[in-house]
Amino acid sequence: MNQKIKKKPSEIIFSYFLLIAGSFLFAVGDVMFVNPYLLAPGGTYGLANVFNTLWPWRISFYAICMDIPLLLIGTWILGPKFGVKTVISTIFIFAFTWILESFWGYNPVIHDGEFLQQSAHNLVQIPHSDHLFFQPDYFLNTVVAGVIYGLAIGMVFRSGSTSGGSDIICMIAHKYTKISLGTLVLVVDSIITLTTLLAFGDIRLPIYSIILIVVESKVIDLVVDGIKSYKTAFIVTDHIDEVRDFIINDLERGGTVFAGAGLYQGVERKMIYVTLERADLVKLKSNLRRLDPDAFVNVIESSEIMGLGFKALPEE
């Protein structure tokens, strides 16, 4: 009978620290970087930014009016998959966004001076903002916003929570259409980014929103999976003992040995399956010719490795 592993108090505290800090960073990215540039990088807050500019009302109010029904509908259709932390994250993001709207407004952080000339062509006008017109730096703002969003959502994911929002729509659609979640997320987020083109008539806005999403996704991967890169090698060799000893003693790694037969001659051979960091793989390749000049090696990229010696298996 499996028993649920209890977390240490320090682990619980750290997970909630990540959740709160990630929620705060998300609000910072949305209010200070995304909204002033009229961007909409997917999600309910992306759509809330468009509504906020067209029909001035707080971003937080628009978003919570979408998030609460989505949570209720998702729980009804999919069951209670989201957990307490997703609800807490939704509340904290709403609260932090409301606070920033109240005390910061919708003023941009990245801009090149403030202008009041109505006739300037490459200026951005932000309704209900202290900076009515400003000279934008779209690319720098997009990269910074993507990094902040990526850090924020990555921290929320690391805490054991989910972003909720439009992801629930994708999960519901996945249940009935069997289309992959990745494809559905891409479709939903793309539709939301295109609303900026329909609302404001500027082709740059959806393009920069998509660039933001790309930067964000890369940062999320770094936060969740870390910067280590792993490679998995399949080594077919007649000198199994020599290669095995090198992996165990020199690289200090374990692996698995499989027995098989070649397709051409049907000769029985053994194969080693081993996952290594990039530096260890370089050492292995540089020594394989000495260990077995006739070895056959297939190396593949490993996006995520869990288990003893690597990342811990996820808890329920």
Instruction: Tell me the pLDDT tens digit for each residue of 252-309.
Output: 888 888 887 777 777 777 888 888 877 788 888 888 888 888 888 888 877 666 666 6
Phi and psi (nearest 5°) for 221?
-60, -40
Q: What is the pTM of this model?
A: 0.74
Return the pLDDT at 313. Answer: 58
Length of the chain: 316
Give the pLDDT score at 132: 60
pLDDT of residue 117: 47
Q: Are 42 and 166 in contact (CB under 8 A)?
A: yes
Residues 6 or more apart whose CB falls under 8 angstroms from that of 69 comprise none
Q: List own/partner pairs for 272-275 with CB under 8 A and 24 or more apart.
A: 272/233, 272/234, 272/235, 272/237, 272/240, 272/243, 272/244, 272/247, 273/232, 273/233, 273/234, 274/232, 274/233, 274/235, 274/247, 275/230, 275/231, 275/232, 275/233, 275/302, 275/305, 275/310
Q: Which sign, positive or negative, has the C-alpha torsion 307, 309, 310, 312? A: positive
- In whole angstroms, how far apart are CA 251 and each of 32, 230, 247, 283? 48, 14, 5, 8
Q: Report whether 276 contacts 230 (CB < 8 A).
A: yes
Give bridge partners of residue 271 from the DSSP assignment: 236, 258
Which residue numbers in the chain have pLDDT < 70? 1-7, 78, 80-83, 113-133, 162-164, 180-183, 225-229, 303-316
The separation between CA 209 and the C-alpha centre of its own chain, rounded to angstroms, equals 15
Only one residue has tokens 């959806």, namely: 206
Q: What are the distances in angstroms from CA 311 to CA 87, 224, 230?
A: 27, 11, 11
Query: Was domain 230-302 assigned CATH 3.40.50.300?
Result: no
Residue type for position 245: D
* Residue 213 · residue 189 · CB < 8 Å: yes
Residues forming CATH 3.30.70.120 domain(s) in the chain: 230-302
Give me the pLDDT at residue 106, please: 85
Contacts of 272 (CB under 8 A, 6+ apart): 233, 234, 235, 237, 240, 243, 244, 247, 255, 256, 257, 258
